[in-house]
Amino acid sequence: MTRTGLYPGSFDPIHNGHLDIIGRAVKLVDKLVIGVAVDTGKSALFTLEERMEIAREETAHLKDQAEIVVHGYAGLTINAARSLGAQFLVRGLRAFSDFEHEFQLTSMNQQLDRDIETVFLMADPHHQAVASRLVKEIVSMGGDITPFVPEGVKRRLMAKAGQR
Known catalytic residues are 18, 42, 94, 132
Rg value, the chain, Cα = 15
Task: Give which of 126, 127, 145 is closest to 136, Cα–Cα.
Answer: 145
Q: Residue 5 or 92: which CB sits closer to ligand ADP?
A: 92
CB of 102 to ligand ADP, least distance (A): 7
- Please report, as ranges, the residues that interact with ligand ADP according to CB under 6 A: 9-11, 17-18, 21, 91-92, 94, 98, 123, 127-128, 130-133
CA distance 78 to 62: 25
CB of 159 to ligand ADP, least distance (A): 19
Q: Residue 4 or 77: which CB sits closer to ligand ADP?
A: 77
Q: Residue 4 or 127: which CB sits closer to ligand ADP?
A: 127
CA distance 114 to 122: 24
The CA-atom distances, in angstroms, between 126 and each of 19, 89, 122 are: 12, 24, 11
